[in-house]
């Protein structure tokens, strides 16, 4: 057994882990990132990046249907094999980039599985054998794993999850998706645009649970127009194989039984902490009732020299949240003043239109007993949206009615996940509605909707008829 020592070891090479490793290297720490499968984690390899590549391609295909409006003539076909090869090449390039950044910042990388043996030691199993690592500090960034339903066991062929869903070749004729959350709605939209018949089965009363209902409406409207069947308040009971495919058994809210034909079944019902066989008990690291590792505002666990970052600490499971936590943990370990204190953690959903939120929703603000005011502006009133031929959506601003401080902003629009950055800044700095209303926004752009929504709060929007509200004094 080889023995090595490091100032800091990081378990997991996803957005939390590799960012922590790079930052530790920048700060002069002798660090190592241990990843058992592929640098970039779920996000880069089977989540964020490959799904967004497919979304981009699917949007291009969908736009072709409107080419005649623009005087563009011609036809287009989709070669699934070439599409997936392009997507895989993009992922490989990003992985090489992460490896290069770790090396450039003098952070070691071990491909293997780590197990904690004490608060200051690990065993890492690699192809070559088992290494023992002595360490001063530890960052656990092992992520989360998909939940498997008893009646839908993953086989990687007929029944799969997002990892399989970003690599379908050929494109399935009939795709049934169990779960109407972010993954289900994103991939459902992708494959419908690529030619699949898509059915989404959601147990709750709406898709995208937790999202402001006003932002969900344009997404549901667009799904309906695309021909996606969305069944809410329904339970997927199981399936029966029928040759190469299956019939999915669903119980509707009325109690009626329904069968849906499927070539592929994609399950997207949530995640659990990825801590099995990690050895948390050997170090005495505490978890909550659901198994997520508990941390304080500097990402430290109950064990003084052990930190945790990213999805393994629980919801919201967001890559950018993990990266920020990894950065904070690295800086605290290096003796720099840092804390994880985010008022506006952005949520982005790459549906059609995209949906993004930052800060409090109207419902969340009211639940806290805050007297709120809202301002909304439809994307259809923007010249830029009309020119793009994408006019579904809105911007909604939630503010304290008395102080006029912005509490949250929600956007459903083309490019909403980029536009939300302005909202994050506004909420983080405690901006007033007036600050956004008075800031000149470039014309013609989609960002004007943020300015107009702020003006609409006080009945002063230019490009819509206003709902008058008296300004706070």
Structure tokens at 342: 């985010």
- C-alpha dihedral over 16, 21, 24, 28, to 10 degrees? -170
Q: From CA 463, how far away is CA 452, in angstroms rounded?
A: 8
Bond preceding residue 129 cis, omega within 30 of 0: no
> For the chain, first and last CA: distance in Å?
72
- Residues β-bridged to residue 247: 240, 261
Q: From CA 237, how far away is CA 249, in angstroms rounded?
A: 5
Catalytic residue among 65, 390, 441, 443: 443
Burial profile 20-59: b = 16 or more Cβ within 10 angstroms, e = fewer = bbbbbbbbebbbbbbbbebbbbbbbbbbbbbbbbbbebbb
Nearest Cα neighbor of 122 from 224, 1, 13 is: 1
User: With contact defined as beta carbons under 8 Å apart, do 373 and 469 qualify?
Assistant: yes
Q: DSSP code of 270?
A: -
Structure tokens at 78: 């989709």
* Residues contacting residue 181 through CB under 8 Å, at least 6 positions apart: 207, 208, 209, 268, 269, 270
In the β-sheet with 197-201, what is the strand arrangement from edge to edge? 159-160, 264-267, 174-178, 197-201, 229-231
Q: CA neighbours within 13 Å on the CB side: how many for 81?
A: 0
> Coil, helix or strand for 50?
helix
Known catalytic residue at 443: yes
Q: DSSP code of 405?
A: B
* 460 phi, psi to nearest 5 deg: -120, 15
> Coil, helix or strand for 102?
helix
- C-alpha dihedral over 381, 383, 385, 388, to 10 degrees? 150
Nearest Cα neighbor of 357 from 313, 394, 315 is: 394
Structure tokens at 170: 């050929």
Strands (E), 127-282: 129-140, 144-146, 159-160, 174-178, 197-201, 229-231, 235-242, 245-251, 257-262, 264-267, 271-273
Pairing mode of beta strands 264-267, 174-178: parallel
Known catalytic residues are 443
């Amino acid at each position: 057994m080889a023995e090595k020592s490091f100032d800091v070891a990081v378990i997991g090479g996803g957005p939390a882990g590799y960012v922590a490793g790079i930052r530790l290297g920048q700060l002069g720490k002798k660090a190592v990132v241990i990843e058992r499968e592929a640098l970039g984690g779920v996000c880069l390899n089977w989540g964020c990046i490959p799904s967004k590549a497919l979304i981009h391609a699917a949007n291009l295909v969908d736009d072709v249907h409107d080419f005649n409006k623009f005087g563009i003539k011609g036809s287009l076909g989709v070669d699934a094999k070439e599409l997936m090869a392009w997507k895989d090449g993009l992922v490989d390039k990003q992985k090489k980039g992460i490896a290069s950044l770790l090396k450039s910042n003098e952070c070691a990388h071990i491909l293997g599985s780590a197990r904690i043996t004490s608060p200051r030691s690990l065993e890492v199993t690699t192809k070559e054998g088992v290494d023992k690592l002595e360490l001063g500090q530890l960052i656990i960034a092992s992520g989360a794993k998909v939940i498997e339903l008893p009646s839908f066991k993953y086989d990687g062929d007929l029944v799969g999850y997002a990892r399989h869903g970003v690599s379908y070749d050929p494109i399935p004729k009939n795709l049934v998706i169990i779960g109407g959350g972010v993954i289900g709605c994103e991939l459902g939209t992708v494959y419908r645009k690529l030619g699949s018949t898509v059915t989404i089965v959601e147990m709750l009363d709406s898709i995208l649970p937790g999202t402001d209902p006003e932002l969900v409406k344009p997404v549901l409207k667009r799904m309906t127009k695309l021909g996606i069947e969305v069944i809410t308040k329904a339970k997927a009971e199981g399936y029966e194989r029928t040759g190469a495919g299956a019939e999915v058994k669903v119980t509707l809210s009325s109690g009626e039984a329904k069968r849906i034909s499927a070539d592929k079944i994609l399950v997207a019902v949530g995640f659990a902490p990825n801590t099995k066989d990690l050895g948390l008990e050997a170090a005495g690291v505490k978890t909550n009732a659901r198994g997520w590792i508990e941390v304080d505002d500097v990402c430290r666990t109950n064990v003084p020299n052990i930190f945790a970052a990213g999805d393994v600490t629980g919801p919201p499971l967001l890559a950018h949240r993990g990266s920020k936590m990894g950065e904070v943990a690295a800086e605290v370990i290096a003796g720099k003043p840092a804390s994880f204190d985010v008022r506006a953690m952005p949520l982005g959903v790459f549906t059609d239109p995209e949906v993004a939120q930052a800060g409090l929703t109207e419902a969340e603000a009211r639940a806290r007993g805050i007297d709120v005011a809202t301002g909304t502006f439809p994307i259809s009133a923007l010249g830029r949206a009309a020119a793009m031929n994408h006019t579904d959506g809105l911007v909604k601003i939630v503010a304290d009615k008395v102080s006029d401080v912005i509490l949250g902003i929600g956007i459903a629009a083309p490019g909403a996940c980029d536009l939300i950055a302005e909202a994050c800044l506004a909420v983080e700095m405690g901006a007033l509605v007036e600050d956004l209303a008075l800031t000149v926004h470039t014309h013609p752009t989609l960002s004007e909707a943020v300015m107009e929504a702020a003006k609409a709060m006080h009945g002063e929007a230019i490009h819509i008829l206003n709902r008058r509200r008296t300004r706070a004094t």
